[in-house]
A and B are shown apart, each in its own frame.
Chain A
Amino acid sequence: GQQLNQSPQSMFIQEGEDVSMNCTSSSIFNTWLWYKQDPGEGPVLLIALYKAGELTSNGRLTAQFGITRKDSFLNISASIPSDVGIYFCAGRYNNNDMRFGAGTRLTVKP
């Protein structure tokens, strides 16, 4: 199946710092999605991207759909303690199955 490479695997940052993570794929996608998962819970959608080159913000979060349709990044500005969790990227091509990256585990130190 299609593989998504998500990096970094984990990040340890100080409160107030900015964060950047990305996903790359060997295949193209029509949709890129970014989710956050808290321990023992299901992932919650943060941002959805539907067009190559699209740049979308949701509060302190900004994500972009790469122009090649094979990559996407997520930035978090001015991190706060509640940003702690695992962030996943996901890609979809038309109505085919949805594939996830392995996740980026974010720790924010006060």
Chain B
Amino acid sequence: DGGITQSPKYLFRKEGQNVTLSCEQNLNHDAMYWYRQDPGQGLRLIYYSQIVNDFQKGDIAEGYSVSREKKESFPLTVTSAQKNPTAFYLCASTRRSTEAFFGQGTRLTVV
């Protein structure tokens, strides 16, 4: 079945560590997005990519990095520069000008 898969579902990070969240889609979608969601809040855009080897910062890109080496994959790295990384992270993908589909999310907790 086609879909978008995020892993892991739960992730624990120690202070000062970098961690990478995986997002893979087999929908042949061009664009991919990363959002952050805090409790009781909406979705804030971190990064998005419209084509391979190209990506743009969203509203809260500081402390995060991404890559888009393959159409199917858009991993997000939460670096040690992100001072408050505990949140629910959502990845989405979409074709041109059509609706976006979301993964199941990754809950990151700093311990």
B86-111 residues at the A interface, CB under 8 angstroms: 88, 90, 92, 94, 96-105, 107
A4-38 residues at the B interface, CB under 8 angstroms: 6, 30-31, 33, 35
* 8 Å CB contact of A43 from B41, B94, B102: B102
Q: Which residues of A contact B56 (CB under 8 A)?
A: 97
Q: Is B45 an interface residue (CB 8 A)?
A: yes
What interface size band does chain A fall in?
Answer: 20 to 34
* 8 Å CB contact of A45 from B45, B50, B96, B100: B100
- Beyond A1-B59, A40-B105, A45-B101, 15 additional contacts (C-beta under 8 Å) are A1-B45, A31-B99, A33-B100, A42-B92, A42-B102, A42-B103, A43-B102, A48-B98, A90-B100, A92-B97, A97-B58, A98-B33, A98-B48, A101-B42, A102-B41
Q: How many interface residues does B have (CB within 8 Å)? A: 29
Q: Is A78 an interface residue (CB 8 A)?
A: no
* 8 Å CB contact of B105 from A35, A41, A90: A41
Q: Which residues of A contact B98 (CB under 8 A)?
A: 31, 48
Give me the interface of A with B, judged by CB distance under 8 Å. 1, 6, 30-31, 33, 35, 40-45, 48, 50, 88, 90, 92, 94-95, 97-103, 105
